[in-house]
Amino acid sequence: MGINGIWLASASERRAILLEELICEEKIKIKFVNTPLIEDEIEPKKTTLKETVFSIAKMKMKSALLEISLGRLEKLELNIDGNLENTLTLVSDTLVEDPDSFEQVFGKPSDKLEAVSMLKRLSGRKHKVWSSTGIIVHKSLEFQFKKTPEIEFGDWHGYFWTEYSTVEIKDLSDEILFELIESNSWEGKAGAYDLDGPMSKYAEVKNGEKFTVLGIASSALEVLKQIFKI
């Protein structure tokens, strides 16, 4: 029994593109819906970045499970063939490390001035980008995740994968900063940059996987590939 519907509970255009490319690559027919949770912005603070990003993703999953219990999947018309058991839900959170304070993070800049400030602090330096991704599946599906679910809610089980990649950004001149800011690629992006946008000319993943930087833990993507082959 395979998956025939996916809800990406996120407003992230980049995560949606990643999943659409994966679905296309695997040549499978799946109804894909990309729409955020009712309450999408959650900002708890924990001792480490790993704990913080996992905590945020976990809270997003709890919100997603509550919405599922209240009929969200039906409203998204994912109850294909009259049931929801073959539907998968994905939540994810990504945090960019502040290189001046390794246990602090860059959020999404509120304006151009804040975006410039973040990019100047990242200029010519390395930093970590953490992503924690959760997958919700119906308990009737016999997927072997080789781990116990972090959350069980009724008939739904939730699993998580959390990891980081290290990114190095070249020295950014005033001209380059102007280019990045005027492109508006900083909008809605933690750390004020999009690795697959204009910043791709000036940044390189030195350790880990690019997918993690773009917003989905790479190990979770590998799990999705396995699921799609079932």
Q: What is the pLDDT of residues 150-194, one digit of tens each?
A: 999 999 999 999 999 999 999 999 999 999 999 999 998 889 999
Of the chain, the percentage scoring pLDDT greater than 70 comes to: 95
| 15-22: average pLDDT | 93
- Domain CATH number, residue 180: 3.90.950.10
pLDDT tens digits for range 19-54: 999 988 877 888 999 999 987 666 666 678 899 999
- 192: domain range? 5-228
Give pLDDT, residue 210.
95
Which H/E stretch holds residue 58?
helix 49-69
Give pLDDT, residue 46.
64
Total count of domains within the chain: 1
Q: Which of 196, 105, 91, 107 is nearest to 150 (CA)?
A: 91
Indicate whether 18 pLDDT > 80: yes
| CA 185 from centre of chain | 17
User: How far is 41 from 208, CA to CA, in rounded Å?
Assistant: 26
pLDDT tens digits for range 213-225: 999 999 999 999 8
Give pLDDT, residue 143.
77
Q: Which residue has the higher pLDDT, 124 or 43?
A: 124
Q: pTM for the whole thing?
A: 0.91
User: How far is 76 from 7, CA to CA, in rounded Å?
Assistant: 8
| 130-139: average pLDDT | 95
